[in-house]
Each structure stands twice: as structure tokens, then as C-alpha cells.
Amino acid sequence: MPDPLTGQLYALLSALSFSFGSVFISKGAKTRKDKGVLFSVFVTMLFSFVIWYVMEAGETQIDNSEQWLSGVFWFVMAGVFAMVFGRTLLYTSIRHLGVTRAGSVKRLNPFFAVICAYIFLSEPISGMDTLGMGAIGVAFGLLIYESRKRAQTVHEGEILSPTHYLWGVGSALAYALANICRKNGLIDFNAPAFGTFISASSGFVFFMIAAIFSTVYRENLRNLFSNINRWLFLSGIFVSAGQIFLFSALYHEKISTVVMINSLEIFIASFLSVVVFRAEVRPELTTYIAAVFATVGVILVATY
């Protein structure tokens, strides 16, 4: 039985998990070629399987019906967009931009989601959608302005460049496409944990196939467990937990409330990164203004 208060708690836990995950990515990404992406996908696959087995297995009817196959197809596509492209680009974005800037660019997700929903699902774009997308666009413009204004370092020895924001833009677009696929999959097969497991599994299989043709992916697969440090291990755990908490929140509470609570992630992550873990230098005031614009934009898109 859905319970709104439980959903709000799950949404807050999701924001906290993603915040810690982003900080741990920032601290551990410089020590490994694949930046822990493959390990995080493996952890998501493992966690979602356990949750599906415990909570959904008895209610999940697996057959070869057209509806079931359609749902699995959309979950697989969601996995390719989210687990492969989205997560790889997100990890790269955090490494190049730092936690706060990468979090602000991540708010482009609803910007692309509205456009994708209009193109692929024929969902109308309201006036508030347009206003919210405009606020998100202003936030992104402020970040580009900041990066061009003066040379800044995010991590030791790395100068911030406007081109670094393309990693975050690509990640936001990939996650938006993944959400379209996930929504179609849940319409055909309403089993969130099973869908997450299929998506994570498809992402992991993609990396395994890529390892056949690429020495880099082959090395990453071979060193999946042997080259894990504590930061990459923790980032995999917390990113996976954040995704699972988000699915649980959406079951109990309406999406607008979940998105608004989840938007706190950027501010929590910035505080943890700058003050608690000292994973990056304190960003300029422009970055925080951009974060506020991005958050307001997300709320407008999600609420109206």
C-alpha cells in the first residue's frame, strides 16, 4: 500500500545516497581508468536482483508474451542509455567538473526529458515547462560564463574548460532517453526492481561484448575486483542505493514531490565535497547561483 510519508523518506535517502556517491566518485575517479563505472553497474545488478527476488519474484510473471517481451526490450534499452552512456559520462563529468558543477549540469535531465517526451510520447509542453526549461538553460549559461571568465582548477593540475561540460550534457541526455524507455517498460511490465535488474544486466553485458573488441574494456573487466579502492567501492554502493531508493520513492509518492526532494542532492553533495571531505576547491558564487536556477527549473518542470 503506497504511503506518501514513506515515499518522501525514500526520496530524501535517494538524494543523500547520490550525494555521497558523487563525492566518492570525485575522490576515487583519478585512480582507475574506468573510474569505477563497471563496478557500480555490477553492484546495481546485484542489489536489484536481491530486491526483486525478495519483494517481486512471487508477483512477477515471466513468459514470452508480446507484452512481456516489449517490457524487457524497453528495460534493455534503458540499461544501455543509463548504465552505459549515462553513468560513464556522469563519472567523467564529475571527474572533470567537480561535484557542484557536475550536479548543476545534471539538472539538464528534465530539460531533455520534456523535449524527448514531446518527440517520442507526444506529451504537450506547458507554459511552466517552458519557464522551467528556461531557468535550467540560464543555469547552464552561467556555468559556461564562469568557465570562460577565468582559468580555474577543479582537481590538482586540471584546468576547467567549457568543453568539459559536454560530458555532463551527454549524461543528462542519456538519462532522459533512459527515462523514456523505462516509462514505456513499466507500462508493459510494472516491476521496478526487475526492470532495474534487466537494465543493469544489459549494461554489464554491453561492457562484456565491448571487451571482445577493446583492450581497455577487456582490462577493466579483468580488473573488476582486483583494482578497487575504498572510494570506488563506496561510490558503487551509494550510487546503486540512490537509484533503488528513487524507484521505491516513486512507488509511494507522486513524481513532482520526489523530484523536488531529490533536487536537494546538488546542495548536499556540494557541502559534503567542499566542507566535509574536501574533495574539491570551493566553487565560485556563480556556480551556486546556477545551482539555484537549475533547481527552480526542475521544480517548475516537475510540478506543473
What is the mean predicted confidence (pLDDT) over 164-172? 90
Write down the H helix ranges in 123-164: 127-149
Task: Report whether pLDDT(20) > 90.
Answer: yes
Whole-model pTM?
A: 0.83
Burial, 209: exposed, middle or buried (Cβ in 10 Å; 0-12, 13-18, 19+)? exposed
Which cell goes with 202? 544489459
CA distance 83 to 99: 19
Angle at 283 between CA 12 and CA 174, to 5 degrees: 55
Q: What are phi and psi of 159, to 5 degrees?
A: -90, 135
Q: What is the mean pLDDT of the chain?
A: 82
Q: Who contacts 104 (Cβ-Cβ below 8 Å, separation ≥6)?
A: 139, 140, 143, 266, 287, 290, 291, 294
Q: Quick check: 193 and 60 in contact, CB under 8 A?
A: no
Structure confidence by residue, pLDDT tens digits, 47-68: 999 988 888 777 777 777 888 8
**Distances from the Cα of 10 to the Cα of 158, 162, 183, 211, 301, angstroms:** 36, 35, 20, 36, 21
What percent of the chain is predicted at pLDDT more than 70?
89
pLDDT of residue 159: 66
More confident residue, 261 or 84: 84
**Distances from the Cα of 127 to the Cα of 59, 97, 140, 194, angstroms:** 40, 32, 20, 36
Residue 44 carries which DSSP code?
H
pLDDT of residue 279: 75
At residue 8 the predicted structure's pLDDT band, cuts being 50, 70 and 90, is confident
Task: Report whether pLDDT(31) > 60.
Answer: no
Q: Tell me how many helices (H) and strands (E) the chain has.
A: 14, 0
Domain ranges of the chain: 4-55+62-303
Which cell goes with 205? 553485458
Which cell goes with 2? 503506497
